[in-house]
Structure 1
Amino acid sequence: MDDDTPKARWERRTELPLAVASLVFLAAYALRVLAHGMPDVWTDLCLAVALGAWLLFAVDYAVRWRLSGRRLSFVRTHWLDTLVLLLPLLRPLRVVKFYEAVQRRHGRPRLALHARVMVYAGLATLLLGFAGSLAVYQEERGADGATIHTFGDAVWWTCATLATVGYGDVSPVTPTGRLIAVGIMAIGLALLGAVTGTFASWLLQVFAREDDERPPGS
């Protein structure tokens, strides 16, 4: 039976609007970073849209915190929501959360646990990789001694960093760019560990199942 508490009802009602707000925020941010020479009025509009999306997240967080009645424990148990509120580049993760909520709403998920972990990790990697590329490109372009001059350079660097390869041909030189790099490195390690661990667990289950099905003495 579905949870019918006020907090659960609020979360169900806001799942889709917040997912849309995440995509709108990412689109406004991308347009503001990539559209060089855009008129000031459009730049200000993109900024207003991004701030509006943040305001929606702030209102949602405050309402759920109030409805939970758990004070500080709410922050500890909803650490991802707290990070999404504080760090703008993590807001696209709400799309992953919305996808998970849709799967739950349709009953038993269509994909097995191992496949769901890989799908969620892949979707999170794409969203965060794109957002990270935008952030690094915004900070590095035009900086003294910068090696990231185009958005393509930023995407290449982000892919190498998320994959924990780190070729070193391009790298951030600004303090903010390096701070973003630390976050992308941590995300890359976490996602890589989740995918490889899940894949290894799936292989072990397959081999164990084959052993159980093998006739005695074979």
Structure 2
Amino acid sequence: MSVRPAPEPPVRLTRWEQRTELPLFAVSLLFLTGYAVRVLAPHSAQPWHDIALLLVWSSWPVFLADYAVRVRLSGLGARFVHVHWLDTLVLLLPLLRPLRVVKVYSAVQQRYGRPRRDLYARVMTYAGLAAGLLGFSAALAVYHLEHTAPGASIRTFGDAVWWACATLTTVGYGDAAPVTFWGRTVAAGLMACGLALLGAVTGSFSSWLIQVFAREDEKRPPGRGQHRGGRF
């Protein structure tokens, strides 16, 4: 039984995504900046807290409008929620927008007409960017949720960054760990993303090394130990 290929997205939807990925990525960075200021700046830092809150709440209508346009252009109706589940998740949790970095990277390549890198370089670039942005976002969220919780081991943003690095790399020293329900929920999501990203980087790097060594073996001249005229 043959497997049907996934249907191509409508042309209008593809064009819309190509035109809006970079502006939306800029808006997501503004959202992340506003959230970071709200979390890290002292409460007495005015008017920065109010400006940060304005950035956070003004970003959501932009994401919502983009989502509505995607639903309309896709022609899928309510099925868009299930087919494009990542877009739906990112709308609800804008801190996960780094997972769309691969589309942003492709949009930059197409807009400036730069030659596309090979598969291994693209995978490692995407995974590196996504891991950095996701780690920073998770550190902010966990610090926000944990630093005032009773019995918390994550008291400073530095603790949160250390925890995010240990979680993303699957090291898990255990010296810093979330104790609240929502903090552990963020940790579970970061663990899953960390395993996926680390596996992608490790697999791509290993495949690249094998490919390089295979090319070197092909270019290497015959050695003295090779079979010549029936003798070794």
For normalisation by structure 2, the TM-score amounts to: 0.84
Query: 1:53 maps to which residue?
Result: 59
Change (3 A) 1:201 1:77: farther
Query: 2:28 maps to which residue?
Result: 22
- When structure 1 is superposed on structure 2, of 4-13 and 115-124 the one drifting more is 4-13
Cα deviation code 1:20-41 (max 9, x no counterpart): 1011000000000000123576
Any unmatched runs of 5+ in structure 2? Answer: 1-8, 227-232
Contact 2:10-2:73 within 8 A present in 1 as well: no
Change (3 A) 1:42 1:215: closer
Change (3 A) 1:85 1:4: closer
Query: 1:65 maps to which residue?
Result: 71
Q: CA deviation at 1:79?
A: 3.0
> What RMSD, in angstroms, separates the aligned Cα atoms of the two structures?
2.3
Letter of the structure 1 residue corresponding to residue 39 of structure 2? V
Q: How many residues align?
A: 216
- When structure 1 is superposed on structure 2, of 192-201 and 4-13 the one drifting more is 4-13
Letter of the structure 2 residue corresponding to residue 35 of structure 1? A
Cα deviation code 1:179-204 (max 9, x no counterpart): 11101111110110000011111122
Partner of residue 151 from structure 1, selected from 129, 150, 157? 157
Larger radius of gyration: 2
Identical aligned residues as a percent: 64
Give the 3-state SS of the residue equivalent to 1:91 in structure 2.
helix
Contact 1:129-1:162 within 8 A present in 2 as well: yes
Cα deviation code 1:34-77 (max 9, x no counterpart): 00123576434422321221221111111011111023553444
Contact 1:28-1:46 within 8 A present in 2 as well: yes
Q: Does 1:6 pair with 2:12? A: yes
Cα deviation code 1:72-100 (max 9, x no counterpart): 55344433322211222202444553222
Q: CA deviation at 1:213?
A: 3.2
Q: Does 1:174 pair with 2:171? A: no
Contact 1:137-1:154 within 8 A present in 2 as well: yes
Give the 3-state SS of the residue equivalent to 1:36 in structure 2.
coil
Letter of the structure 2 residue corresponding to residue 181 of structure 1? A
For normalisation by structure 1, the TM-score amounts to: 0.89
CA distance in 2, matches of 1:78, 1:108: 28
Any unmatched runs of 5+ in structure 1? Answer: none
CA distance in 2, matches of 1:88, 1:58: 11
